[in-house]
Amino acid sequence: MQLWEDGQPPASDITAKARGDSSRRRTLYEFPTHWSEPDQAPRRSLPPPPRNALRRCSTTAVSAYVQLFASEEQALRPRSSLWDGVDGGEVTVETCDGVLFPACATLFRLVSPVLAAQLSSLSSSSSSSASSSRPHRIRVPETSAVIALLLAIYHPSAEPPSADLLGTFHALIAAEKYKMQKALRHLRSALSALAESDAADPILLYGIACRCGMHELATTAAKRTLRTEPEPAPVMYARLDGLGISAGCLHRLLVYQRKSREAARAVVDGWWRMNLERSCGLGKWGKDGSTPCWYERYMTAIGRQAWPNAASVTDTDLLRGVVSSCPRLKRGYGRKRGPCGYCSNPEKVLMFYNFAKYVGDSIDALVEEVVLAWPEST
């Protein structure tokens, strides 16, 4: 349908424009409401407005409509048959925060059987109506950041944006929900890459790995929690609350930490130290003068640590403090006495360093034997 019978605007309209008369309000009559001929191509790829739209609307609404569907950039940019909806019909995804993502229906049918089923139900319900040419709209409960990340993974040329730990987790949960296999592989690889990253909270990473069934990643994250000071259970659970992580996952982590701490304490003041002293003649099994003077001071110093590990028992400041606190280093009767041979002889000082390293390696070996338990069903 043409806007005017002879294809030209009436003279009154031209006169009004020539004299700058702005009193005439612009209406939707100035835009085509439908195409009279089937083979007539839409001007500037402008889709027809809704059939039941109001005939008259404000200039603001018309401008918003034009900006959404007929912007110059949208009309001139290259279109991908898989991405922009040339083949298979258009579909629009509306997120929970009100952001719209236009895409191609063929894309959804290829990447997600769940979204494909939703799209098929929408297509069948609107196939007999005149509004079937309009883009189908699928509303999802995910945020725009999650949907943008998922769509970018499937884009033929765009690089998926980087996301933090929680952003990757929420996108992975959405990919599992919609059965998007490529996105699942990409996001699981992204989580695995954070296994040894200091930027990822080990407790949060452990909970996310448990939620996603990634047991190997959960074991690695659980070992990383041993490098930090232990936290009370309520504090740990508060950090995992709201992510759909079961209390059993937290319980298994707490049991693993307790057993690992007991294994480390066995070196400091448990059965390992007793066997060492008995076999090497140290402590109460040693003869007079056979036990190095630094031995008791060193074992007492590492015994004060709540969570001894290989790094803490070989700390340079700790070793220097043990050597410098030799009992013979004191003033008496106006003269300064030198340290004993165990604390002054370079070879015996090196022996002390090697002993501290041996203690650290023993702690690591015993902690490594502790296994993070998993339910038999998993």
Q: Is the pTM of this model over 0.85?
A: no
The pLDDT score that the predictor gives to residue 39 is 44
Residue type (1 letter), 185: R
> 31: part of which helix (H) or strand (E)?
none
pLDDT above 80 (res 44): no
| 353 — pLDDT class (breaks 50, 70, 90) | very high
Tens of pLDDT, residue by residue over 178-214, are 999 999 999 999 999 988 888 888 999 999 999 999 9
Q: What is the pLDDT of residues 243-294, one digit of tens each?
A: 888 888 888 999 999 999 999 999 988 899 999 888 888 877 777 767 888 8
Supply 303's token pair. Answer: 């015994």
Instruction: Look at the block and give the residue holding tokens 């203690």.
Output: 359
**207 within 8 A of 250, measured Cβ to Cβ:** yes
The tokens for 307 are 């969570």
Q: How many residues does the chain have?
A: 378
Tell me the per-residue pLDDT of 220-239, one tens digit each, with 9 for 90 and over.
Answer: 999 998 877 777 777 777 77
pLDDT confidence of residue 219: 93
Beta pairing partners, 103:
91
Pick 33 or 180 by higher pLDDT: 180
Average pLDDT value for residue range 296-322: 91
Q: Is the model's pLDDT at 75 over the cut of 50? A: no
Structure tokens at 188: 């699981």
| Angle value at C-alpha 235, between 232 and 239, nearest 5 degrees | 140
Contact (Cβ atoms closer than 8 angstroms) between residue 198 and residue 224: no
Q: Quote the DSSP letter at residue 285.
A: G
DSSP letter for each residue of 152-199: HHH-SSPPPPP--HHHHHHHHHHHHHHT-HHHHHHHHHHHHTTTT-TT
pLDDT on residue 289? 67
Higher pLDDT, 17 or 349: 349
pLDDT at 145 over 50: yes
Nearest CA-CA partner of 370 in 253, 275, 212, 196: 253
Domains of the chain listed by start with CATH number: 11-75 (no CATH), 78-193 (3.30.710.10), 266-368 (no CATH)
Q: Is 256 helix (H, G, I), strand (E, B) or coil?
A: helix
Q: What percent of the chain has pLDDT over 90?
A: 32
pLDDT band at 134 (very low <50, low <70, confident <90, very high): low
| Alpha-helix residue ranges (DSSP H) falling in 304-345 | 310-313, 316-324, 341-344
Q: What is the pLDDT of residue 269?
A: 85
DSSP state at residue 26: P
